[in-house]
């Protein structure tokens, strides 16, 4: 089956798909011809779907991307710039959670939205491990504390060592500064040999965090966990990631206990205009 199919009744020969194709494998000789694929070029298609998405007439499909699987953009639902700016400025890292679990349906919906995050070469190699059970999240926090105790004696950065010591002391005092008492943890991992796995995973988690905020949920990056997840054998065993995969990030998830009423200050961006 050919990868590329043009419905000649719908195609207006406007040349948009050929101009848009990032791999430049769609060609159109002139305004009288229909677009087509360059000979022997299918292997260079990275299935980004731009050709399908950009055609105003639904004239083009890929065998990997039927039109029914590519719904129209609901333009009336797109937020205006002020709405987006206010939304982005209002998101906060949440460290106080209600004693209430998030449904599996909603956790799945968050990941289903985050899968639309962009990835280098459209690799889409962002994998997810979801710890749904609050008891398991607490156990993971304990393992991170164990790891912190092990590495503390070799930390030479005094300030960092102080922060880590506080984390250990808090745990001994019954306070969880690792997972902040969040009921759930969502971990992202990717084959480590991808071109940009750290970036792909961070962008996907950012999508997830923003969507979570829009759904009234709270999230916070689990930085201590992410460090331990690539260095602490017992934790790596529990994570049990597929061979060749590495953890590139994790976020705590739950219902926030408090609401925010102001946007805190942030530094002026150091920009060098050239």
Q: Which stretch binds ligand FMN (CB under 6 A): 151-159, 168-176, 186-194, 222-230?
A: 222-230
Minimum CB distance to ligand FMN, residue 261 (Å):
14
Q: Are 64 and 42 in contact (CB under 8 A)?
A: no
User: In the window 156-185, what residues touch ligand FMN (CB under 6 A)?
Assistant: 180
CA distance 224 to 180: 11
Comparison of 128 and 224: residue with beta carbon closer to ligand FMN:
224
Q: Which stretch binds ligand FMN (CB under 6 A): 50-58, 147-155, 193-201, 216-224?
A: 216-224
User: In the window 93-152, what residues touch ligand FMN (CB under 6 A)?
Assistant: 93, 95
Q: Which stretch binds ligand FMN (CB under 6 A): 36-44, 91-99, 114-122, 145-153?
A: 91-99
Question: According to the binding rule CB under 6 A, does residue 222 interact with ligand FMN?
Answer: yes
Choice from 221, 238, 246, 257 touching ligand FMN (CB under 6 A): 221
Minimum CB distance to ligand FMN, residue 179 (Å):
9
Minimum CB distance to ligand FMN, residue 94 (Å):
8
Question: According to the binding rule CB under 6 A, does residue 92 interact with ligand FMN?
Answer: yes
Comparison of 16 and 144: residue with beta carbon closer to ligand FMN:
144
Contacts of 67 (CB under 8 A, 6+ apart): 52, 58, 61
Q: How many CB atoms lie within 10 A of CB 274?
A: 3
Minimum CB distance to ligand FMN, residue 227 (Å):
9
Minimum CB distance to ligand FMN, residue 204 (Å):
13
| Cα-to-chain-centroid distance, residue 169 | 32
Choice from 223, 234, 242, 244 touching ligand FMN (CB under 6 A): 223
Choice from 147, 207, 224, 248 touching ligand FMN (CB under 6 A): 224
Question: According to the binding rule CB under 6 A, does residue 13 interact with ligand FMN?
Answer: no
Residue least distant from ligand FMN (Cβ): 223
Question: According to the binding rule CB under 6 A, does residue 220 interact with ligand FMN?
Answer: yes
Tell me which residues touch ligand FMN (CB under 6 A). 92-93, 95, 180, 220-224
């Amino acid at each position: 089956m050919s990868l590329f199919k043009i419905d000649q009744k719908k195609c207006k020969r406007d040349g948009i798909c050929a101009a848009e194709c990032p791999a430049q494998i769609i060609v159109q000789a002139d305004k009288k011809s229909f677009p087509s694929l360059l000979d022997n070029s299918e292997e260079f298609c990275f299935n980004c779907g731009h050709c399908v998405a950009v055609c105003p007439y639904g004239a083009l499909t890929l065998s990997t991307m039927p039109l029914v699987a590519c719904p129209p953009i609901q333009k009336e639902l797109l937020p205006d710039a002020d709405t987006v700016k206010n939304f982005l400025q209002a998101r906060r890292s949440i460290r106080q959670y209600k004693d209430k679990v998030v449904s599996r349906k909603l956790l799945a919906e968050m990941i289903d939205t985050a899968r639309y995050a962009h990835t280098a070469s459209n690799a889409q190699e962002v994998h997810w491990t979801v710890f749904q059970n609050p008891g398991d999240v607490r156990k993971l926090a304990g393992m991170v504390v164990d790891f912190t105790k092990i590495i503390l004696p070799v930390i030479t950065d005094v300030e960092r060592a102080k922060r880590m010591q506080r984390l250990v002391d808090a745990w001994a005092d019954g306070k969880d500064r690792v997972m902040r008492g969040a009921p759930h943890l969502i971990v992202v991992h990717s084959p480590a040999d991808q071109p940009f796995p750290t970036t792909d995973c961070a962008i996907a988690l950012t999508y997830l965090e923003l969507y979570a905020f829009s759904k009234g949920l709270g999230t916070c990056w689990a930085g201590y966990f992410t460090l331990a997840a690539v260095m602490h054998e017992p934790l790596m065993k529990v994570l049990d990631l597929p061979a060749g995969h590495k953890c590139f990030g994790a976020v705590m998830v739950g219902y926030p206990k408090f609401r925010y009423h102001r946007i805190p200050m942030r530094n002026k961006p150091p920009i060098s205009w050239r």
